[in-house]
Amino acid sequence: MTTQTLPNTKIAIVGYGSQGRAHALNLRESGFDVTVGLRPGGPTEAKAQADGFVVKTPAEAVKDADLVAVLTPDMVQRKLYDEVLKDNIKPGACLLFAHGLNVHFDLIKPREDIDVVLVAPKGPGALVRREYEIGRGVPCIYAVYQDKSGNAEALALAYAAGLGGARANIIKTTFKEETETDLFGEQAVLCGGASSLVQAGFETLVEAGYQPEIAYYEVLHELKLIVDLFYEGGITRMLEFISETAQYGDYVSGPRVIDAATKARMKDILTDIQDGTFTKNWIAEYEAGLPNYNRFKKADMEHPIEVVGKKLRAKMVWLSANASQPDADDATSTEKAAAA
C-alpha cells in the first residue's frame, strides 16, 4: 500500500447516521477527500452540512468516487444499490460495507468490475468518533469479497486505519464470519440476551415484593461496573474486584440461570442466522411495515424498569451530560420505523 497515494482516494459516504458521521469525520481528518451522499431534504442532510461536508445526492456523490461506503440502514441497501449505485459507481471503484448482511445473503449482487470490501468497527459510531478524537481507536474487522483491482485489501486496510482502527487492532475476516457473528452477538448476548436478563432479574425482585428502585440499582445500574471490569481485564478482573461472597454466588448460581438448555437455544439462534431464516423473516417484517418490531419496541420502552429508571437517572445529573449519542438520531429511528 502506498501511503502517499491512498489519502488522495476520493471517498463517497452514503448515509450520515451512527456510522456514516463517524466514518466521514475520521476519514477527513485522516487526510481523505470525503463527500457525503444523502437524499435531498433527508433527516441527516443538515447535520452533514453543519459538519462542513459537501452533500450531494447519492447518485452524484458516487459518480467520481474511488471508494463508495454504503452506510445506510441495512434494509434499504438493496434498493439503493439496484436503483442508484449499480449504474453510477465508476468502473473499477471499490464498494465498501460496514456489515456484510446484504452481500453475504445475496440481496446485493455487486457488479463484477468493482472491488467489494467490508470494514466493520466493533463499536457504535459515537464510540468510533470519540476514540478517534482522543487519539485512540475502535478495533476494526475487514474482509474482501471481490478483488478486481488487486488493491482491494490495501484499500480496506487504509480505510480501517483512517477510522482509527489501526491504533486498536485490525483483524481479517470474511463476509460470512462478520455477518453471522455480528448478528449472533447482538441477538444472543449484547442486546437481546443482556436486556432480557436484566428485565427478568428486575421482574423477579419486584414480583417478590422488593422496591422497584432498589431492583433497578441491583440489576441494571450496577451492570456498568461489571461490564467496565470485563472490558478492562476480562472475567478475571471482575473476580478480582468482587467480594468472595459475590464470587461464590457467581459460581453456584450463574450456571443455574444460563444452563445447557440456554446454550442449546443459542445454537438454534445461530442456526437460524446461518441458514438465512433470520434474514428472511427480518426482510418480511420490514416490508410489512414493521408491525411486530413496533409492538416489541413499545413493550420494551413501557416496561416498568424504564419507568423507574427514568425517575432515578434524573437524580444523577451527570448522566445526561456524558450520555452517548444514540446510534440513530430521532429522525432516523422514526424514519426506520416508518419505512417500507
Active site residues: 99
Q: Which of 169, 153, 166, 172 is nearest to 1 (CA)?
A: 153
Q: Which of residues 242-281 bind ligand NAD (CB under 6 A)?
A: none
Q: Is 18 annotated as a binding residue?
A: yes
CA 97, CA 245: separation in Å to the nearest integer? 47
C-alpha of 193 from chain center = 16
CA 117, CA 146: separation in Å to the nearest integer? 7
Does residue 72 belong to the site contacting ligand NAD (CB under 6 A)? yes
Q: Is 125 annotated as a binding residue?
A: yes
| CB closer to ligand NAD out of 125 and 202 | 125
- Residue given cell 471481490 in the structure block: 146
In the list 26, 32, 85, 99, the residue contacting ligand NAD (rule: CB under 6 A) is 99
CA 123, CA 137: separation in Å to the nearest integer? 10
| CB closer to ligand NAD out of 175 and 202 | 175
- Taking the C-alpha atoms of 99, 101, 106 and 110 in order, what is their torsion angle to the nearest 10 degrees? -10
Q: Which of 60, 64, 70, 69 is nearest to 90 (CA)?
A: 64
Kindly state the smallest distance separating residue 269's Cβ from ligand NAD, in Å: 18
Stretches 39-47, 60-68, 251-259, 270-278: which one binds ligand NAD (CB under 6 A)?
A: 39-47
DSSP-based three-state secondary structure for 339: coil
Does residue 26 belong to the site contacting ligand NAD (CB under 6 A)? no
- Asked whether the beta carbons of 212 and 199 are under 8 A apart, the reply is no
CA 175, CA 161: separation in Å to the nearest integer? 19
Kindly state the smallest distance separating residue 238's Cβ from ligand NAD, in Å: 24
Kindly state the smallest distance separating residue 56's Cβ from ligand NAD, in Å: 11
Stretches 40-48, 239-247, 270-278, 288-296: which one binds ligand NAD (CB under 6 A)?
A: 40-48
Q: Is 19 annotated as a binding residue?
A: yes
> Position 134: which residue type?
I
Question: H helices within the chain, ranges in order?
Answer: 18-29, 45-50, 58-63, 74-80, 86-88, 101-104, 125-133, 152-162, 175-184, 192-207, 212-216, 223-241, 244-257, 260-274, 277-287, 291-301, 304-313, 318-322, 330-338
List Cβ<8 Å contacts ≥24 apart for 181-189: 182/99, 182/100, 182/120, 183/101, 183/273, 183/278, 184/266, 184/269, 184/270, 184/273, 187/269, 187/273, 187/278, 188/266, 188/269, 188/270
| CB closer to Mg ion out of 124 and 212 | 124
> Among Mg ion, ligand NAD, none, what does residue 15 contact (CB within 5–8 Å per kind)?
ligand NAD
Stretches 22-30, 76-84, 182-190, 270-278: which one binds Mg ion (CB under 5 A)?
A: 182-190
Does residue 182 belong to the site contacting Mg ion (CB under 5 A)? yes
Q: Is 39 annotated as a binding residue?
A: yes
Q: Is 199 annotated as a binding residue?
A: no
In the list 11, 34, 88, 125, the residue contacting ligand NAD (rule: CB under 6 A) is 125
> Among Mg ion, ligand NAD, none, what does residue 39 contact (CB within 5–8 Å per kind)?
ligand NAD
Stretches 139-147, 177-185, 206-214, 251-259: which one binds Mg ion (CB under 5 A)?
A: 177-185
Q: Which of 74, 61, 71 is nearest to 103 (CA)?
A: 74
> Among ligand NAD, Mg ion, none, what does residue 17 contact (CB within 5–8 Å per kind)?
ligand NAD
Does residue 76 belong to the site contacting ligand NAD (CB under 6 A)? yes
In the list 9, 26, 44, 179, the residue contacting ligand NAD (rule: CB under 6 A) is 44
In the list 27, 34, 93, 98, the residue contacting ligand NAD (rule: CB under 6 A) is 98
In the list 74, 115, 131, 178, the residue contacting ligand NAD (rule: CB under 6 A) is 74
For the annotated binding site for substrate, the residues are 243
Which residues would be at the binding site for Mg ion (CB under 5 A)?
182
For the annotated binding site for Mg(2+), the residues are 182, 186, 218, 222
